[in-house]
Structure 1
């Protein structure tokens, strides 16, 4: 007749003292507490494997693992045995899975996704995607396992980007994170995509709307730019002034190679591959953008050539000359001037468009083409490029001369 085992009690567990030899306090059905001479107490579970061999599981130390918890673990192990599963092998499999989960951090999966996708991207686009992840996402959630990453952590990262005024970037990063989670699911690393439920989390982006000053505010802005010259690096200052003169997009300016601007050139031809519509994955507009350079812009470019002309880029990154200046560099200058939220790099395009049409009285068509707003019809596009180039050259010089006049008047009024 099997020996009757009296179930353990918390009082029995607490009052049992260590002896000279190992003590076993049985709770029945293979569960017992092992009390060592040094006073440590550990839960053990003895069982027979599916193949009939005896084995032992450790449930953890007492009192960290309570009597109730130990009995729960025993019940779970016995249920596995009834289902034909070896508890020891199940434990080992769970440990491997947990280790695998810890190894598959968000950053590791994101870099794998990036390496897989970059074969179908242009080198510049691939670099930009990775750089933005390194700047905005990895510092906050990069080290965390992608499996089970909470919604609120991802939302916090996206809103952090949004609060600095980069609403469009936050929207793009949300799309990138959605793709990374999708890749993780397809790779068997994650089982859900938390970003798919974040359609209404971020502020809506107003298409084409960027903060910009008006022509009436331009004199004050120019005085602020002049007063901040001493605190602004010369290369950065030239970037701001050149952007004001030619009002191309920020990326088109700061990513420009010197090969596009040979000495003495009066026209800047930006290849279609660097243009916004040329970078589209579907149906890119393959039209180079011609920028007639006013005299003042040529002078700035030649000054810049003396500073950075020995390298590949007009505006190299200060830490890594193989990469362009950060998108935020111009924005930071504008913020230091006191125009945070009121002006952006893109705002120079809005300022130029409104002032050239309303103050200098130029027609909409040449201004629109100078902004690289390309019409969809191919025949009309070719005509526009030919028809307005001479007019645009005169218009760009008039804009530069206008800025000179406003600058002189603004500084003389100080």
Structure 2
């Protein structure tokens, strides 16, 4: 049986793993660090996985109590006939969808947030119903109630996930049709959330504040975010092996790491090469560019850089993602660089890779010049000096 100490000490690994408790109850530890209580069993000859919730929200004692109650209810329920055995409950269909979907998710936090959203908002309403008995009206009422509670973004995500579960059930032959098509259309307008970004004339003050930030690794991370304007996850999870600091001066982000068919190449300016040289003194012996302070085998958390900006007084004024918006604004307004070159460096590619083949060398020479110009622009802004020419 598990103990509280074992649960707290269980660290994330590259792949999910299980810690067995008793009576079939076990704790799954995901690569994201999330820990989920689950139970595998068979009902009417079909494999089922029951998910109770996440630790520490659901304690060990509460998980055991929920497990005992579920087992008692399952054993007391008459075994279904052939037709019921062939058609799963919504929860069983969702578990099957998650098994196929979760390995494709790009962000590690979604490994826990996607199942959690179903556990919180959907399973209590329709989880134990046969999926072919669920009506459109039930689904509409469910997502509208979430929207009406003020959780607009959650309502949209839940609606999308419900549709995906039903689509998966159709695709795998569990049902022939479903009532969840275009479920998001019944919701009101979604408030668009923009990533705050300082205007170009305030970029210098921001950079000077970052340059004075006391933690070296966090400071380097923010400056690299400014100079390379890559996505936050691409930066914080970057290993040293992706950087060619020699003649090529190129950071190659593998497509497999960002769920793309092709790699993303980031030319390294002279300023970025100096940043990497200084950073290598502190983290170059390890695998990761920006390791966590307490967990050096894992990257800094997704909030480390953002909270540093908060501490500098930029909460609501600028985010890490805001460097992408800042770069896009300045580069486009300069009139020096073709829009296609800027968009390519921002990695605004069609996510459906079947749409067109991609040439890795597209605009690379121009992008090298542009990225050096951008770093020079940042330096001039920080020093309050005249802006660089092309």
TM range (shorter): 0.5 to 0.7
Q: 1:385 aligns with which of 361, 377, 386?
A: 361
Q: Deviations over 1:236-286 (max 9, x none)?
A: 33222111101112222223222212554611122233346x2xxxxxxx3
TM-score, normalised relative to structure 1: 0.53
Contact 1:182–1:193 (8 Å) recurs in 2? no
> Would you say 1:175 and 2:160 are equivalent positions?
yes
Contact 2:156–2:184 (8 Å) recurs in 1? no
Instruction: Look up the SS of the partner of 1:314 in the other structure.
Output: coil
Q: Give the Å deviation of 1:352.
A: 0.8
Contact 2:290–2:300 (8 Å) recurs in 1? yes
> Would you say 1:267 and 2:242 are equivalent positions?
no
Q: C-alpha separation between the residues in 2 aligned to 1:147 and 1:126? A: 29
> Would you say 1:401 and 2:387 are equivalent positions?
no
Q: C-alpha separation between the residues in 2 aligned to 1:303 and 1:160? A: 49
1:320-335 → structure 2 map (5 Å cutoff): 323-335=298-310
User: 1:242/1:400 Cα in 2 relative to 1: closer, same or farther (>3 Å)?
Assistant: same
Contact 1:177–1:195 (8 Å) recurs in 2? no
Q: 1:216 aligns with which of 189, 201, 220?
A: 201
Q: Give the Å deviation of 1:161.
A: 9.9
Q: Give the Å deviation of 1:298.
A: 1.5
User: 1:199/1:211 Cα in 2 relative to 1: closer, same or farther (>3 Å)?
Assistant: farther
Q: C-alpha separation between the residues in 2 aligned to 1:195 and 1:235? A: 47
Q: Deviations over 1:32-80 (max 9, x none)?
A: xxxxxxxxxxxxxxxxxxxxxxxxxxxxxxxxxxxxxxxxxxxxxxxxx
> Would you say 1:130 and 2:130 are equivalent positions?
no
1:12-411 → structure 2 map (5 Å cutoff): 95-96=76-77, 113-118=97-102, 121-122=103-104, 125=106, 127-133=108-114, 137=117, 146-147=127-128, 167=153, 171-172=156-157, 174-176=159-161, 178-179=163-164, 199-201=185-187, 203-204=189-190, 210-226=195-211, 229-230=213-214, 233-262=215-244, 264=246, 266-275=249-258, 278=260, 286-317=261-292, 323-359=298-334, 361-374=336-349, 378=357, 382=359, 385-386=361-362, 388-409=363-384
Q: Give the Å deviation of 1:131.
A: 3.5
Q: C-alpha separation between the residues in 1 aligned to 2:224 and 2:321? A: 13
Q: Deviations over 1:307-341 (max 9, x none)?
A: 33344332345565555444333333334444344
User: 1:95/1:195 Cα in 2 relative to 1: closer, same or farther (>3 Å)?
Assistant: farther
5+ long unaligned stretches in structure 1: 1-91, 98-103, 279-285
Instruction: Look up the SS of the partner of 1:291 in the other structure.
Output: strand
Corresponding residue number in structure 1 for 2:21: none
Q: C-alpha separation between the residues in 1 aligned to 2:201 and 2:367? A: 24
Contact 2:255–2:264 (8 Å) recurs in 1? yes
Q: C-alpha separation between the residues in 1 aligned to 2:275 and 2:145? A: 42
5+ long unaligned stretches in structure 2: 1-72, 79-87, 130-137, 386-390
Corresponding residue number in structure 2 for 1:82: none
User: 1:343/1:200 Cα in 2 relative to 1: closer, same or farther (>3 Å)?
Assistant: farther
Q: If you compute each CA radius of gyration, which structure gives the higher value, 1 or 2?
A: 1
Contact 1:251–1:327 (8 Å) recurs in 2? yes
